[in-house]
Amino acid sequence: MTASVSQPPSICFVGLGNLPMLTREYGSRQAGGAELQQTLLAKALAQRGWSVSMVLADCGQPDGATWDGVRTFKAYRLEEGIPLVRFLHPRWTKLTSALRRADADIYYSSCAGAHLAQVVMFAHRRGRKAAFRIASNADCDPKELLVEFWRDRLLYRHGLARADLVLAQTARQQQLLRENFGRESRLAPSLFERADRCLAFEERDLDVLWVGNIRQVKRPDLLLALARRLPALEFHMVGGSLPGAERLYEAIRREAAGLRNVTFRGAVPYQDVQNLYARARILVGTSEVEGFPNTYLQAWAHGTPVVAFLDPDGLLRRHGMGRAVTTLEEMGAAVAALRGDRTQWERAAACAQECLEERWPEEKVLAPYLEALTALRAPSPGARLRRGHCADGPVTSPR
């Protein structure tokens, strides 16, 4: 692992759900914003000559397979093992084995959970470094953590306090981390893929688009309520089921089927969703808790205005890339206005593209990652950080 000063460090992204974002072959499986951000960063670093690997769930793919310059290692099948016992094996043992095979200078993970402690302990045990990126505002507030078991919450705190680098998406997240966990962080914006061409208003054939995993925090029921308020508009809903939210998924699917102006598409591979963003006139966001929604960036990249309740760092209000609303009534009025007034729509679409060019040029977006990760270059394998002398332990979920 010894490298010259001019060479970037090697990095391993730990994201069990990343495979659908990495390759179309497995695109029908569920994944979210954190998985997308890891994958986009991994590909960008590989394109710039970094040695990049990734630890994934075992979905039947070959171990050691490489996509877009990212070498992958399998951990375990998500359904593998006996409840409670699988806490030790296969989850902990196989994850550790995959981390070891990756043999990276830096191990990079996202999303609140027990896995952060495991990654940090593994890295420090071997004199390597651990980086963590906040995936949601909920990761920054102990009262809002989307982590089921109290033990996993404790382990998340343990890992968050000891990670060598914490990256936040927004200034608000930095503030929350400081207030709630006493943890400093560095700002690193979200990445996105740019569109080759943005369609004009008359070229688009989808009135309203909603994209997100079907889970309560996304509030998909509000999209259906909005569709009832605007029966003249066509709504398209994209989202798959997540473990533990199967009943909600079925309820939303059945309810959507009963509405003539709603097309429920279910799970759609990431690669194919891009076409829907391009065809949509408006993206609606109903979530109550997120970080910086990837859906916003993907919509804006295609010149699609966003109407949403969540307005990270006030971008919607300040830059006119759509509308920030507080009630369903306001949302209905904003959607109707943008859909019905081409001049308003074109102004919002132009603002979206201008803001992306100003705030999110590719090299500017990557610069904080490159600077922070390069500074984390690990010492030689024989070195040991004092705080990393703890043994590896079982810290994954017992489910």
Higher model confidence: residue 395 or residue 105?
Answer: 105
* Residue 397 within a domain: no
pLDDT of residue 85: 86
Which ranges of the chain would DSSP assign to H, the alpha helix? 19-22, 33-47, 91-102, 115-125, 150-162, 171-181, 220-229, 246-257, 270-279, 294-301, 315-319, 328-340, 342-359, 362-374
Mean of pLDDT values over 344-351: 95
Q: Residues 123-137: pLDDT tens digits?
A: 999 999 999 999 989
* Residue 5 within a domain: no
**In the structure, what pLDDT confidence band is assigned to residue 112 with cuts at 50, 70 and 90?**
very high
26 pLDDT above the threshold of 80: no
The answer on 218 and 321 residing in a single domain is yes
Domain count across the chain = 2
Residues 308 and 328: beta-carbon distance below 8 Å? no
120 pLDDT above the threshold of 50: yes
pLDDT of residue 2: 44
The answer on 344 and 227 residing in a single domain is yes
The answer on 176 and 28 residing in a single domain is yes
**In the structure, what pLDDT confidence band is assigned to residue 394 with cuts at 50, 70 and 90?**
very low
The answer on 224 and 146 residing in a single domain is no
The answer on 150 and 233 residing in a single domain is no
- The DSSP H or E segment spanning 322 is strand 322-324
Higher model confidence: residue 264 or residue 28?
Answer: 264
Q: Which domain holds residue 53?
A: 11-191+364-388
The answer on 187 and 234 residing in a single domain is no
Q: Residues 218-229: pLDDT tens digits?
A: 999 999 999 999
The answer on 168 and 211 residing in a single domain is no
The answer on 287 and 331 residing in a single domain is yes
* Residue 398 within a domain: no
Supply the mean pLDDT for the chain.
Answer: 89
The answer on 153 and 114 residing in a single domain is yes
The structure tokens listed for 63 are 């171990």
Q: Hey, how many other C-beta atoms are within 10 angstroms of the C-beta on 246?
A: 11
pLDDT of residue 29: 67
Across 14-28, 143-157, 318-332, 343-357, least confident range: 14-28
* Residue 309 within a domain: yes
pLDDT of residue 359: 79
The structure tokens listed for 252 are 């939303």
**In the structure, what pLDDT confidence band is assigned to residue 333 with cuts at 50, 70 and 90?**
very high
The answer on 134 and 60 residing in a single domain is yes
* Residue 1 within a domain: no
The answer on 372 and 306 residing in a single domain is no
Question: What pTM value is reported for the model?
Answer: 0.80
The structure tokens listed for 85 are 């016992």
pLDDT of residue 1: 41
The answer on 349 and 206 residing in a single domain is yes
* Residue 228 within a domain: yes
* Residue 196 within a domain: no
Side chain identity at residue 352, one-letter code: A
* Residue 93 within a domain: yes
Mean of pLDDT values over 176-180: 97
CATH code (residue 93): 3.40.50.2000
DSSP assigned state of 364: H
Share of residues in the chain with pLDDT > 70 (%): 91
386 pLDDT above the threshold of 60: no
CA dihedral 210, 212, 213, 215 (to 10 degrees): -80
